[in-house]
Structure 1
Amino acid sequence: MVSPPFIYALLLLAAPMGAILLFSFWTQDFLTLDTTLTLNNYREFVEEPLYGVLLQRSLIIAAMVTLVTVVLAFPIAYFVSFHVAPERKSLWLFLITIPFWTSYLVRVFLWKVILGFNGVLNSGLLGLGLIDEPLTFILYNANAVVITLAHAFAPFAILPIFVALERIDRSLLEAGQDLGESRLMTFWRVTLPLATPGIVAAVLIVFIPTIGDYVTPRLVGGPNGLMIANMIQTQFLKLNNAPMGAALAVIAMVSVSVIALVFVWLNRKWLRVKQ
């Protein structure tokens, strides 16, 4: 029974990643592919400052998207779990998933219209007299990328947090208040630690794919909002240098993996301290 999914995962996950790893040790001169194993691509990454800048920017943007998404998602998940009647929770979850009804590209283009120089946001603020001239810092930069990606990944953060909150035994909260704790301290010492698995899942679900997003930075990021995935795309499709693109992909995957493992380790350490 395990064999079919194992073979499926091996062919569609392990094999492509192995191919990318192998490609990263090759070199290519336009149409000529040299299969001699070498570290030239990784050496070029170290020597070329642009790659490091893009990777650093990507990690910062991904961290900001994750922070904004999870911070905004937690109150929504908490409200649906604790303050919505059980018979209405399915309706709320249904409404939360409505953004998935439209194409990802359509949603990005809509944010481009909203944040544009003459877009909905600037026009509304100008009409209300809150600003004298259109805001320029909300489009074609990292801010636009953070806003767009935070909206795109919001349901991915809300749902795992909601599931974790739903699993909390409500009698534990009542016991905390019966023992003299305030609502705030009960939340801090009972609700939040028990919801941590959902928060960790939300962080990983949002942070990991954000690094690999290249559509949003290309459409709304401008020159100052491009990320490492855009350079990987350029290496593969425009510069015809698949080995260098593969090396960048491997470095990005390793960076994300290390950060994710460190985050999980710190989370476990924090939970042990709380206990």
Structure 2
Amino acid sequence: MARSFDLGRFLRRDETKGMVLIAPPFIYAVLLLAAPLTAIVLFSFWTQDFMTIDRSFTLSNYREAFTDPLYMELLSRSLRISLSVTAITVVLAFPVAYFVSFYVAPERKSLWLFLITIPFWTSYLIRVFLWRVILAYDGPVNGTLVGLGVIDEPLAWILYSANSVVITLAHAYAPFAILPIFVSLEKIDRSLHEAGRDLGENRVMVFLRVTLPLAMPGVLAAVLIVFIPTIGDYVTPRLVGGSDGTMIANMIQTQFMRLNNAPMGATLSVLAMLMVGFVSLVMILGTLRWTRGGKSK
């Protein structure tokens, strides 16, 4: 004889409650993450003739992307710029986070964090345009250097080049690097530093052997938070980069919006995502190997 289904008992089960809790974020992730990514991947294997999409499977887009030197140059330039921005931002952010964590009084740390987030109060576009004014041929930077006699004539290479893109992005993403590093530094037990000094280590060795390894989760988080979005930025390169600062995201936007070639834009998007994923994985594995090697010693 078949057993009757008890709906009330089913809803009271822990498994059911868990499924109910994860259902909204799961549906959200599928609709807003998995579905668009799947569509982009499918588009990369199709072709487009004006307004007509040919859904026949083809690798012609990938062959063109790998054989056209322009696309490969944009991908490599995007990687170079993003790595430069990430390195500069994290290296400059660490001393700030270290100072706030170790040298600022506890009751004033909130004020310092508040000051660090002030750039978020203004529009991202406004900040980019301000850097465009600051780095201009007749802007404050060149004017100050000429006035101090450091240079004889204004520098033309700091604006509309890869250098201006790196400077602007490094400033824009600085708070994103400072905050995760600060959180990691705050979690470090201060007694470990005292133990290290009691064992005869100087401050530099204590920093290298205690503070830095324990802060690496925050450093890695800062690296990923800065690296992943900067490689896909197209607003900053367009406003301050010029022809030498154009990145792959600018070409993707051109393929979709101007050349009416969505499949090629999707192909470049897939290649950019694969490149970001590979480099990020290398960073994560390298950091884990370094931290575990340091602990084993």
Q: Under a length normalisation based on structure 2, what TM-score does the superposition of the two structures give? A: 0.92
- Does structure 1 residue 242 correspond to structure 2 residue 256? no
- Does structure 1 residue 46 correspond to structure 2 residue 59? no
Deviation readout 1:142-172 (Å, 9 max, x if unpaired): 0000000000000000000000000000001
Question: Which range is displaced more, 105-114 or 5-14?
Answer: 5-14
Look up the SS of the partner of 1:33 in the other structure. Answer: strand
Select which of 171, 190, 193 maps to 1:170: 190
Look up the SS of the partner of 1:185 in the other structure. Answer: helix
- Does structure 1 residue 55 correspond to structure 2 residue 95? no
Q: How far, CA to CA, are the matches of 1:167 and 1:272 in structure 2?
A: 18
TM-superposed CA distance for 1:93, in Å, is 0.3
The residue that corresponds to 2:30 in the other structure is 10
TM-superposed CA distance for 1:9, in Å, is 1.2
The residue that corresponds to 2:146 in the other structure is 126
Select which of 87, 97, 117 maps to 1:67: 87
TM-superposed CA distance for 1:2, in Å, is 0.7
TM-superposed CA distance for 1:241, in Å, is 0.1
Unaligned runs of 5+ in 1: none
Q: How far, CA to CA, are the matches of 1:180 and 1:4 in structure 2?
A: 55
Q: How does 1:1-275 map to 2 (within 5 A)?
A: 1-275=21-295
* Structure 2 letter corresponding to 1:252: A
* Structure 1 letter corresponding to 2:153: E
TM-superposed CA distance for 1:261, in Å, is 0.5
TM-superposed CA distance for 1:180, in Å, is 0.5
Q: How far, CA to CA, are the matches of 1:258 and 1:106 in structure 2?
A: 33
Look up the SS of the partner of 2:173 in the other structure. Answer: helix
Deviation readout 1:111-134 (Å, 9 max, x if unpaired): 000000011111122222222110
Look up the SS of the partner of 1:134 in the other structure. Answer: coil
TM-superposed CA distance for 1:240, in Å, is 0.2
Deviation readout 1:221-246 (Å, 9 max, x if unpaired): 11010000000000000000000000
Q: How far, CA to CA, are the matches of 1:110 and 1:47 in structure 2?
A: 38
Q: How far, CA to CA, are the matches of 1:146 and 1:28 in structure 2?
A: 35
Larger Rg: 2
Identity %: 71
TM-superposed CA distance for 1:136, in Å, is 1.0
Question: Which range is displaced more, 22-31 or 165-174?
Answer: 22-31
Q: How far, CA to CA, are the matches of 1:156 and 1:37 in structure 2?
A: 41
* Structure 1 letter corresponding to 2:86: T
Deviation readout 1:50-88 (Å, 9 max, x if unpaired): 100000000000000000000000000000000000000
TM-superposed CA distance for 1:99, in Å, is 0.4
Unaligned runs of 5+ in 2: 1-20
Question: Which range is displaced more, 83-92 or 9-18?
Answer: 9-18
Q: Provide the aligned C-alpha RMSD in A.
A: 0.7
TM-superposed CA distance for 1:272, in Å, is 1.8
